[in-house]
Structures are given as C-alpha cells and as structure tokens.
Amino acid sequence: MANTETNPKNSNLQTGGNILRLKLIFLIVDWDKARAVSDVIEEGSCPLVFLTKGQGTAQSDILDLLGLGATDKAVLLCVAEALETPTLIKTVRHAMGSKSAGAGIAFTVPLSGINAPLMKVFLEAETDAENEKTQIAKENPKMADNDTTVSGPIAIKNELILSILNNGFSDEFMVAARKAGARGGTVLSARGLSQQIVKKFLGISVQEEKEIIIILADKDKKLPIMQAVSNAFGISSKAGGVIFSLPVDQVMSLNEI
C-alpha cells in the first residue's frame, strides 16, 4: 500500500468503484435560518461550506410590487460524501425547527471531479469516523474493501437550470419561467468576468453586474422552461443570458419534519 500523502496518484484516490462519491449539496433556506443551518453542517461531516445571499422570487406580481413578495434567502453550497447526505439533511431539518413551513429546499449535484487535497480531507474524515478519533492514519487500507463505496449509474429526475443574465432582468425572466412551469427561483447577484467586458477604471477593474437565477425543475419541465426563456433572454438579447442545466440526483424538502 503506497502512501497517499507522498504519492497523490495512488490508486486509492483514483476512480474505479473504490472511492467515496462526492456530491455538491445546494441548500436554499430563509436568510434568518442561515446561521443555524451552516452551524449544523459545519459540525457534521462537511468541511467545505460556502454561503451566499440570494433573493427568493415572489409568487405574484402584486405582492412583489407591494414589497411583500421576495424574501431573502441563504444559498449554501457544501461538498459532502454521497452516503452522508441524507443524515446531513436530516440534521439540517431538525436544526431549522418545526416552524419551518416553506422554509427551504435541498438538492444535490453529483461531482465529476475534485482536486486532490480536498478529496484527502474527505478520506481523512472517513477514516477519522471509523477509527473513532484515534490518530489520523496516513494510509487507509480499509478503503479497498470498504462497502461504503457506490457504483452504478446515478438516476436523474430533476434538473437545475442556471441562468446568468445582465442586471435587472430577473423579474421578467421569472414571469416567463413561471408561465412555462417553474415553481420558483432564487436570484444571486454576481459580477461578470469575461475578457471583453472587464474595463480598467483608475487602475481598478470594473465589472458588469450580473444576476444568476437558480431554478430547480422536474426533468420533463426543464425543456419547456429553457425554451420559454431562451428567446427573450438569450445571449443575443438585451439580457445577454447564458442558460444551461445541470443534473440533480436528489431533491429534499426542508419543510416540517
């Protein structure tokens, strides 16, 4: 057995069924729950958690105009081991408490690659758990016959539609998406980094404001939604939208337990 630390190409780390399968978990919860949720995740077996603030989209135009529509949302991204996700989600649901109707959703996207040091973190966490906090083993002989490994294809029932638009188009975008069957969406503000757009102003780079819209849709709704918005908000329109979808393999509601 080779030492994983000195030889990162060790077969333990390579694919082939003997490896932990990692997933990216998206958790979208009410902003005031963000702290509670991120605390729970960090305590759990998830060493990588990132948080950003998003805006929920309103159910109706009138409510939105009155300022009672869009709620603040926290979007948490965390990388976790596939078998851990159900337990992780369960603890999150407990942390959010019982009064959490409509408070959030979680879904996972399978990872197709990760850089080696991060993988090691997960392997070590795994070993850690198994050795019950004894000294961290640098090698992991158990991995080879570990039955926590997953194999076989991943079933995809939902899709994540990511749309990156110029600033200010999210309202109209959501109206179109909703008509085509989207249930809701979350808007994140972002900056564009494309080569042609970056301008230098007094030596500092000034970038275009962008909005990223996350819509979780059923597999069969994906195409209608994407078609509906592509015309009016596509790359050649004023909105300059880049619209694509990602496979989602698990969706879990974070509503009442």
Partner 1 sequence: MNKILQEKIKEAFSSVLPITAIVLIASIILVPMSAGIIVMFLVGAALLIIGMGFFTLGADMAMMPMGEGIGAQLTKGQSVFMAVGVSFLMGLIITIAEPDLMVLALQLAESLNPWVLIITVGLGVGLFLSIAVLRILFGIPLRFLLLFLYIVTFGLAFYMQSAGDGAFIPVSFDAGGVTTGPITVPFMLAMCLGVASLRGDKSSKDDSFGFVALCSVGPIISVMVLGVVNHITKVTPQIPSDESIALIDKYTDRDVVVQFVEHFPETIQEVAMALGAILVFFVVFQLITRRYKKHQLARIVIGFLYTFIGLVVFLTGVNVGFIPVGSLFGSKLGQSELKWILVPLSMLIGYFIVAAEPAVHVLNKQVEEVSQGAVTQKTMNTGLSVGMALALGITMIRILLGIPIMYILVPGYGFALILTFFVPKIFTGIAFDSGGVCSGPMTSTFLLPFAIGACAGSGGDTMRDAFGIVAMVAMTPLVVIQILGLVYGIKMAAKAKGLGGVTAGAGEVILFEEEYTYG
One residue of 24, 77, 83, 114 binding partner 1 per CB under 8 A: 114
Is 13 near partner 1 (CB under 8 A)? Answer: yes
User: Any bridge partners for residue 205, and if so which?
Assistant: 200
Residue pair 166/240 in contact by the 8 Å Cβ criterion: yes
Q: Would you give the distance in Å from CA 209 to the centre of its chain?
A: 21
To partner 1, the closest distance from the beta carbon of 49 in angstroms equals 11
Task: Give the nearest distance from C-beta 150 to partner 1 in angstroms.
Answer: 9
Residue 99 DSSP class = -
Long-range contacts of the stretch 86-92 (C-beta < 8 A, 24+) = 86/252, 87/44, 88/25, 88/41, 88/44, 88/45, 88/46, 89/25, 89/252, 89/254, 91/40, 91/44, 92/27, 92/37, 92/40, 92/41, 92/254
Rg from Cα positions in the chain = 21
Q: Which stretch binds partner 1 (CB under 8 A): 4-12, 84-92, 125-133, 223-231?
A: 4-12
From residue 38 to residue 57, the character string flagging contacts with partner 1 as x (rule: CB under 8 A) and all else as - is x--------x---xxx----
Q: Is 223 in the site for partner 1 (CB under 8 A)?
A: no
Report d(CA 56, CA 170) in Å as an integer. Answer: 11
Q: Which stretch binds partner 1 (CB under 8 A): 84-92, 179-187, 202-210, 227-235?
A: 202-210
132, 133, 147, 202: residue in contact with partner 1 (rule CB under 8 A): 202
Residue closer to partner 1 (CB basis): 11 or 91: 11
| Stretch 62-101: interaction string toward partner 1, x if CB under 8 A | -xxxxxxx-x--x---------------------------
- Contact status, residue 174 vs residue 182, Cβ threshold 8 Å: yes
Q: How far is the CB of 198 from partner 1 (least distance, A)?
A: 7
Q: Cα(161)–Cα(166) distance, rounded to whole angstroms?
A: 16
Q: Which stretch binds partner 1 (CB under 8 A): 7-15, 126-134, 177-185, 228-236?
A: 7-15
Q: Which is it for strands 158-166 and 104-110: parallel, antiparallel or unpaired?
A: unpaired
Q: Which residues bind partner 1 (CB under 8 A)?
A: 4-6, 8-9, 13-15, 19, 21-22, 30-31, 34-35, 38, 47, 51-53, 61, 63-69, 71, 74, 102, 110-121, 153-157, 168-169, 171-172, 191, 193, 198-199, 201-202, 204-207, 209, 219, 247
